[in-house]
Amino acid sequence: MEFHSCQQRLASVLLLCFWMLFIRAHGSRKLYITYLGDRKHAHTDDVVASHHDTLSSVFGSMTIPINSPCVVCLMHLISPELPEVISVQRSRRYKTTTTRSWDFLGLNYQNPSELLRRSNYGEDIIIGVVDTGIWPESRSFNDKGYGPVPARWKGVCQVGEGWGSNNCSRKIIGARFYHAGVDEDDLKIDYLSPRDVNGHGTHTASTAAGSVVEAVSFHGLAAGTARGGAPRARIAVYKGGAGSGNSATVLAAIDDAIHDGVDVLSLSLGTLENSFGALHAVQKGITVVYAATNFGPAPQVVRNTAPWVITVAASKIDRSFPTVITLGDKRQIVGQSMYYYEGNNSSGSSFRLLAYGGLCTKDDLNGTDVKGRIVLCISIEISPLVLFPLALKTVLGAGASGLIFAQYTTDLLGITTACNGTACVLVDLESANLIASYISEASSPMAKIEAARTITGEGVLAPKVAAFSSRGPSVDYPDIIKPDIAAPGSNILAAMKDHYQLGTGTSMATPHVAGVVALLKALHPDWSPAAIKSAIVTTASVTDERGMPILAEGVPRKIADPFDYGGGNINPNRAADPGLIYDIDPSDYNKFFGCIIKTSVSCNATTLPGYHLNLPSIALPDLRNPTTVSRTVTNVGEVNAVYHAEIQSPPGVKMVVEPTVLVFDAANKVHTFKVSFSPLWKLQGDYTFGSLTWHNEKKSVRIPIAVRITIQDFYADVA
């Protein structure tokens, strides 16, 4: 057995205590995380000694090999005989889950908003990025014009393979890397240092806090000025692995980040648990932002749903890449792509023969001559994400010059970047039907594909919730609405090693929120993580600039609801001055979720349901009888203000608010109100949605509401 403690990793005072236990059982080497809560001793030597004593009481001796099965050892650890051990969990592997997006959100750099000016672009706020590392030579991390590293910073610049102390700067002020429990195969293809081998961490870091870089594009597409949401913020890098991390690396990163002094944590990771490390960070005043993951549009697949973090869905911005396909009969059909002309072999330079390939599998193309031709492939039952790379490989392997790929509408435009200059265009099924009809009718069907163009602005319907974005309700916390907010995450241009690449996913949406949090933290340094989260959720947009409801893409499209985007699409400028906030004392999370945080036998199972927590949302997953919840709002706007309640009751539910008017003045800055819910029917129903808005002539403070009427416990809505 090998033993590592957080106390052995840190030389000074510790905020979070856990063990990483490598236990060899049945010839395998497994990693377990043992959580002990906050430190209980003043000196680190005393902490380490107490941990050795505890382990010795279980294993007999720290030097005796452990031959019995892991599960036996671990069951002993969580037994009532060791009340100091809160939980033991097997370490899990985590997957990682710009030029236009910040303008779309109202944070134009050339014509800065009041939020950007008053926050000084997030200057000296420290954003901790837990990801795959960073590429320090990127222009997005230029530190020209930056002052000294903030004196409060306690972090380090950890050197390693391909990374020296000079790779940290006044922009990248700290860097660490972790590899406990990372697969040996992953380590072989990665740098044992903070350097980013696959670019994911570089992309997210530059999106959150990248310096201003003029005239960037992806082969001429999406051209503009690249920068982060808080371009003057500092970056601290915590690398958990190339393409993936695990419980041990992420917990170690969070632990170090707390000690180092970050203000914001951005984690574009797909975890399968709600980390107690994130709770510790929040209780130390750090706002933690997590990705909702990319399992949408299916319901109940949202991840990272702890109520103390901000969980981010992905939305689309007002930019598209139309690509014109001209058929031999002069008809033009417009698809979308990332196609750019490359050299003289471009299939877009002239008309080429056009062939129908069905699903474009080897069987479908058997006997069909596609050499030098553009091939039409149609995906209906098979996921485009699965079929497209197979079709691309098959048709190019057969000598085709281009690919027209038909699919139901999704947000997978980024998959065409794999074509590397070959003409690959996505079209919808209606367009595919027209092309297929032309192929069957023409004696020598031809087509020409033009290079993609970039279109931005009012002509593009936006925002929309991206199809891939994971949807609620949360299976871990059904009485909490998740995700919390949506932010741009589709076709985002940001740094990737020495160039700029378009990326898509909630991984891209997460640093957008982290960047906004940095601006709000700079503007309101006394706001708690809950206050910042409240400001973001209650001021979000649920309609576009035309006043039309935001749509959620999927199968089929629909009007978005709170399980798609929480409070709505993020509106940074409104969040800077929300009027009212729903604040939470960080210790309250323990009162409501003690049985989840502490898994020992002493857990108090009588804790209140989570919907009583003072969140900027209300979710009742099991409404049978009249239920009343209370919320408390704090005035952070004008001292003298009067707010009126506007109720949108979920269908099938009677909703009453008392009082309906809140009057604030210098002596009354905080008010508590009650919201009562009564089912209008007795049935086993599904979720319906509503909202509660406090408004006056200047402000509008809206929270989303989700209610499900039920008759029986643990009802599975799968019929």
The answer as to whether 384 is a domain residue is: yes
Shared-domain flag, residues 225 and 204: yes
Residue 523: phi and psi, rounded to 5, are -75, -35
181 or 467: which leads in pLDDT: 467
User: Which residue type is seen at 423?
Assistant: A
Give residue 630's pLDDT band: very low, low, confident or very high (50, 70, 90). very high
Q: Please, are residues 347 and 629 in contact by the beta-carbon 8 Å criterion?
A: no
Q: Does residue 219 have an active-site annotation?
A: no
The answer as to whether 401 is a domain residue is: yes
Shared-domain flag, residues 128 and 159: yes
Shared-domain flag, residues 134 and 268: yes
User: Which residue type is seen at 658?
Assistant: E
Give residue 300's pLDDT band: very low, low, confident or very high (50, 70, 90). very high
Report the number of distinct structural domains present in the chain.
Answer: 4
Give residue 352's pLDDT band: very low, low, confident or very high (50, 70, 90). very high
Report the pLDDT value the prediction gives residue 559, as an integer from 0 to 100.
96
Report the pLDDT value the prediction gives residue 246, as an integer from 0 to 100.
76
Which residue out of 103, 179, 193, 200 is catalytically annotated? 200
* Of the residues 452, 485, 515, the one at which a domain ends: 452
Report the pLDDT value the prediction gives residue 179, as an integer from 0 to 100.
83
Shared-domain flag, residues 684 and 571: no
Shared-domain flag, residues 44 and 144: no
The answer as to whether 393 is a domain residue is: yes
Report the pLDDT value the prediction gives residue 40, as an integer from 0 to 100.
58
The residue with tokens 């932010």 is: 487
Q: Please, are residues 438 and 537 in contact by the beta-carbon 8 Å criterion?
A: no
Of 220-224, 244-248, 362-366, 600-604, the range with the lowest mean pLDDT is: 600-604
How many other CB atoms are there within 10 angstroms of residue 397's CB atom? 11
Expressed as residue numbers, the domain containing 701 is 617-709
**Among 300, 297, 243, which Cα is nearest to 268's?**
243
Shared-domain flag, residues 228 and 370: no
Name the token pair of 464. Answer: 């929309």
In eight-state DSSP terms, residue 42 is S
Report the pLDDT value the prediction gives residue 389, as an integer from 0 to 100.
86
Report the pLDDT value the prediction gives residue 420, as an integer from 0 to 100.
82
Shared-domain flag, residues 363 and 303: no
CATH number of the domain to which 634 belongs: 2.60.40.2310
591 SS3 class: helix
The answer as to whether 718 is a domain residue is: no
The answer as to whether 691 is a domain residue is: yes
Overall average pLDDT of the 221-225 stretch: 91
Q: Does residue 101 have an active-site annotation?
A: no
Outline where 442-525 has alpha helix (H). 506-523
Rg over CA atoms, the chain: 27
Shared-domain flag, residues 198 and 138: yes
693 or 273: which leads in pLDDT: 693
Shared-domain flag, residues 330 and 312: no
- pTM above threshold 0.85: yes
**Among 358, 316, 310, which Cα is nearest to 336's?**
316
Interval 1-29: pLDDT, tens: 444 444 344 433 334 444 444 444 444 55
Interval 706-715: pLDDT, tens: 999 999 877 7
Q: Does residue 444 have an active-site annotation?
A: no
- Largest Cα–Cα distance of the chain, in whole Å? 85
Interval 425-439: pLDDT, tens: 999 999 999 999 999
* Of the residues 72, 93, 114, the one at which a domain ends: 93
Shared-domain flag, residues 60 and 107: no
Output the DSSP codes for 83-95: TT--EEEE--EEE
Overall average pLDDT of the 512-531 stretch: 98
Give residue 93's pLDDT band: very low, low, confident or very high (50, 70, 90). low
Give residue 340's pLDDT band: very low, low, confident or very high (50, 70, 90). confident
The answer as to whether 157 is a domain residue is: yes
**Residue 131 pLDDT exceeds 90:** yes
The answer as to whether 8 is a domain residue is: no
Which residue out of 124, 131, 190, 411 is catalytically annotated? 131
The answer as to whether 595 is a domain residue is: no
Report the pLDDT value the prediction gives residue 364, as an integer from 0 to 100.
85
Shared-domain flag, residues 270 and 297: yes
Which residue out of 50, 346, 507, 649 is catalytically annotated? 507
Residue 79: strand pairing partners: none
* Of the residues 44, 72, 93, the one at which a domain ends: 93
CATH number of the domain to which 446 belongs: 3.50.30.30
CATH number of the domain to which 108 belongs: 3.40.50.200
Q: Please, are residues 355 and 374 in contact by the beta-carbon 8 Å criterion?
A: yes
Q: How many Å apart are CA 617 and CA 479, to the nearest integer?
A: 10
Shared-domain flag, residues 110 and 244: yes
Report the pLDDT value the prediction gives residue 331, as an integer from 0 to 100.
95
